[in-house]
């Protein structure tokens, strides 16, 4: 009881008002529409961050022996500030429905039917209470450590060492204790969910298929994403029916994480299976890096197989069982190593073949797969005997190559859809651009980025803690809100939450890349023979099946 009393006696109303100011700012729109529950969580978090910021400022102020207002003047200023903050909060929360519905309308979503103020406030207060309690427990731990340090050292030294000890303890407990076990548990649970070994469906009966009795890749160990990739997609009959021409059966090779102990083993197995199936006799060979779970997006692979009449082979190697956001944080190196090993092994063998008697070679990836594929496509694969091109979709914001390319954009071109040089090497596609327009014709290599202007996985910026991201300095994109404003700290948390919501955005927005939007970029990258704009329109109509991914009837 004494502990609870001491905690609430130290409650700072000026700091709470700063937090409420952050809460009011968090009600403004960002990249992805938010429902009342999500808005409440965001509001509670930034309220807690604002409160913590106020306490830190006050601590620094007192440590510097600066004068502190007290008595009636301090009380009057606090009440006056409270009235102003309350007025601002009322305005933002009543305007938030208009802002959110404006954004929802631009994404083709139904408008929200009410403010749900009670829900927003209730969820925000619960979130703040949890964060405040956690912070109070950390403060109690600090005081306990500090009290014991004071027995053997001066006060100032005890304060500094106490903060360091508590910070190190929290880091060890979370990073090397709780988080490690959580990640290991998640990885194991996702592995089980992929139906490895025990629950695998019957393998393909066609000996030419990956995972068949004749295949070098064990069907059960491949995992559900790999088995789905092998057993779906257009077959030769479907392609022939669409093109009106004889077609080949597309080659699809997939190696699951459980098919090998190391990235190199899985890469060598992928190469051997490609050779077994005759992949290097096809016109096109695509080396794809899957997403975190190992998923190969049918919305990307189905259309390009139609374009080339099935005369194409695609290979992917799994590196994780985690969902992409978790794999992005905890298994980044694993993805980079696997993508590098696979592309390196395939490229090295491909280089030994006569240039006029080998497939055109392309790199590809979506989301985390785009990052790892870019990493694998290093300078040595861009010079000498280079690959023919690359198509990267939704590249995550830390991607080194993507960041380098973005910073070379032509002056005046928007950050979300930049122009790079004369367009002979790199072009961008989006919901409103298909990468067909450029100052110059394509050169020997073709690289295309597909990114939606509302994708926070791409446009999150860690520096938004203190400065506006570059794209905020441009006029708003077609699916962005005119009311989006930069607020230090708050914008950081808005964009971070947007990343969690991006996968549930309507197809064609956020991180939900639509099959139709892959088609024109694939045409630009792989240049299918005899392909026309009418063919592109027909394939888009064929893939317009009302879902986000895939355009196969199987």
Checking if the pLDDT of 548 tops 80, the result is no
Contact 51, 12 (CB under 8 A): yes
- As a whole number of angstroms, the distance between CA 501 and CA 354 comes to 47
**Distances 306 to 93, 312, 413, 472 between C-alpha atoms, Å:** 49, 9, 33, 38
Contact 256, 303 (CB under 8 A): no
Mean per-residue pLDDT for 29-42? 93
| pLDDT at position 332 | 65
Residue with more model confidence, 236 or 166: 236
| pLDDT at position 202 | 87
- As a whole number of angstroms, the distance between CA 466 and CA 27 comes to 19
Mean per-residue pLDDT for 390-397? 96
Query: Picking from 104-118, 286-300, 465-479, 490-504, which range would have the lowest pLDDT averaged per residue?
Result: 104-118
**Distances 450 to 148, 238, 390, 482 between C-alpha atoms, Å:** 58, 27, 11, 23
**Per this entry, what is the length of the chain?**
554
Residue with more model confidence, 414 or 197: 414
Checking if the pLDDT of 507 tops 70, the result is yes
User: Which tokens go with 34?
Assistant: 């938010």
For the chain, the 3-state helix, strand and coil shares in percent, each to the nearest 5, are 55, 10, 35
Closest CA to 512 of 544, 478, 549: 549
Percentage of the chain beyond pLDDT 90 is: 64
How many angstroms separate the first and last alpha carbons of the chain? Answer: 65
- As a whole number of angstroms, the distance between CA 19 and CA 132 comes to 12
User: Which tokens go with 487?
Assistant: 């607020």
Contacts of 532 (CB under 8 A, 6+ apart): none
Confidence category of residue 123, pLDDT binned at 50, 70, 90: very high
Partners of residue 426 on adjacent β-strands: 447
- Beta-carbon count within 10 A of 530 CB: 8
User: Which tokens go with 31?
Assistant: 């990249």
Residue with more model confidence, 175 or 201: 201
| pLDDT at position 321 | 62
| pLDDT at position 273 | 97
Checking if the pLDDT of 270 tops 90, the result is yes
Q: Which of 4-8, 54-58, 197-201, 372-376 has the highest mean predicted lDDT (pLDDT)?
A: 372-376
- In the DSSP assignment, the letter for residue 47 is H
**Distances 157 to 27, 154, 365, 480 between C-alpha atoms, Å:** 42, 6, 52, 50
Helices 332-351 and 263-277 cross at an angle (nearest 10°) of 40
pTM: 0.87
| pLDDT at position 546 | 43
| pLDDT at position 154 | 83
| pLDDT at position 140 | 83
| pLDDT at position 547 | 43
Mean per-residue pLDDT for 211-237? 93
Checking if the pLDDT of 551 tops 80, the result is no
Residue with more model confidence, 327 or 352: 352
Task: Summarize pLDDT for 313-325 with one digit per residue, the tens.
Answer: 999 999 876 655 5
Checking if the pLDDT of 509 tops 90, the result is yes
Q: Which of 47-61, 159-173, 202-216 has the highest mean predicted lDDT (pLDDT)?
A: 202-216
Closest CA to 135 of 26, 14, 15: 15
- As a whole number of angstroms, the distance between CA 263 and CA 33 comes to 39
Confidence category of residue 105, pLDDT binned at 50, 70, 90: very high
Percentage of the chain beyond pLDDT 70 is: 89
Task: Summarize pLDDT for 424-438 with one digit per residue, the tens.
Answer: 999 999 999 999 999
**Distances 33 to 30, 37, 274, 397, 504 between C-alpha atoms, Å:** 7, 12, 44, 20, 10
- As a whole number of angstroms, the distance between CA 218 and CA 287 comes to 20
Mean pLDDT of the chain: 87
Mean per-residue pLDDT for 73-90? 86
Partners of residue 288 on adjacent β-strands: 316, 364
Checking if the pLDDT of 9 tops 70, the result is no
DSSP strand pairing (360-366 vs 446-450): unpaired
- As a whole number of angstroms, the distance between CA 49 and CA 253 comes to 48
| pLDDT at position 7 | 56
| pLDDT at position 184 | 54
- As a whole number of angstroms, the distance between CA 440 and CA 89 comes to 52
| pLDDT at position 103 | 93
SS3 509: strand
- Beta-carbon count within 10 A of 272 CB: 16
């Amino acid at each position: 009881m004494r502990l609870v009393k001491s905690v609430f006696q130290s409650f700072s109303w000026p700091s709470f008002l700063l937090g409420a100011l952050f809460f009011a700012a968090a009600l403004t729109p960002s990249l992805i529409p938010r429902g009342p529950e999500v808005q409440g969580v965001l509001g509670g978090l930034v309220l807690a961050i604002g409160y913590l910021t106020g306490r830190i400022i006050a601590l620094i102020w007192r440590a510097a022996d600066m004068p502190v207002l007290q008595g009636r003047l301090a009380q009057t200023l606090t009440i006056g500030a409270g009235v102003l903050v309350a007025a601002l909060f009322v305005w933002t929360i009543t305007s938030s429905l208009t802002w959110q519905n404006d954004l929802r309308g631009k994404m083709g979503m139904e408008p929200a039917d009410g403010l749900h103020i009670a829900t927003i406030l209730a969820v925000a207060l619960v979130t703040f209470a949890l964060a405040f309690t956690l912070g109070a427990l950390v403060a109690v731990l600090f005081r306990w450590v500090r009290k014991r340090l004071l027995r053997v050292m001066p006060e100032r030294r005890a304060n500094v060492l106490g903060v360091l000890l508590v910070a190190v303890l929290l880091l060890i407990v979370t990073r090397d204790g709780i988080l490690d076990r959580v990640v290991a548990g998640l990885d194991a649970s996702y592995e089980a969910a992929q139906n490895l070994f025990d629950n695998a469906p019957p393998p393909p009966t066609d000996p030419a298929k990956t995972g068949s009795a004749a295949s070098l890749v064990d069907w059960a160990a491949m995992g559900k994403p790999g088995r789905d990739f092998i057993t779906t997609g257009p077959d030769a009959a479907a392609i022939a029916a669409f093109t009106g021409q004889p077609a080949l059966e597309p080659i699809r090779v997939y190696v699951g994480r459980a098919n090998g102990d190391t990235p190199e083993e899985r890469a060598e197995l992928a190469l051997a299976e490609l050779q077994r199936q005759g992949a290097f006799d096809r016109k096109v060979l695509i080396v794809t890096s899957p997403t975190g779970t190992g998923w190969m997006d049918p919305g990307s692979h189905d259309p390009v197989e139609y374009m080339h009449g099935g005369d194409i082979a695609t290979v992917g190697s799994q590196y994780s069982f985690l969902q992409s956001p978790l794999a992005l944080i905890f298994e980044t190196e694993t993805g980079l190593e696997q993508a590098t090993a696979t592309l390196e092994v395939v490229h090295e063998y491909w280089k030994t073949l006569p240039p006029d008697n080998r497939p055109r070679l392309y790199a590809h990836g979506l989301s985390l797969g785009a990052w790892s594929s870019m990493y694998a496509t290093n300078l040595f694969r861009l010079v000498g005997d280079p690959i023919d091109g690359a198509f990267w979709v939704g590249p995550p914001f830390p991607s080194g190559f993507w960041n380098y390319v973005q910073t070379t954009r032509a002056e005046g071109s928007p950050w979300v859809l930049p122009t790079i040089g004369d367009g002979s090497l790199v072009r961008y596609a989006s919901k409103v651009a298909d990468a067909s327009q450029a100052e110059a014709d394509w050169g020997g290599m073709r690289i295309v980025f597909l990114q939606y202007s509302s994708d926070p996985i791409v446009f999150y910026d860690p520096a938004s803690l203190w400065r506006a991201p570059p794209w905020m300095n441009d006029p708003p994109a077609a699916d962005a809100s005119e009311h989006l404003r930069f607020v230090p700290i708050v914008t950081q948390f808005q964009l971070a939450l947007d990343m969690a919501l991006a996968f549930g955005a309507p197809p064609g927005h956020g991180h939900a890349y639509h099959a139709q939007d892959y088609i024109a970029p694939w045409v630009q990258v792989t240049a299918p023979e005899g392909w026309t704009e009418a063919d592109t329109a027909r394939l888009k109509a064929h893939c317009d099946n009302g879902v986000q991914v895939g355009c196969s009837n199987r």
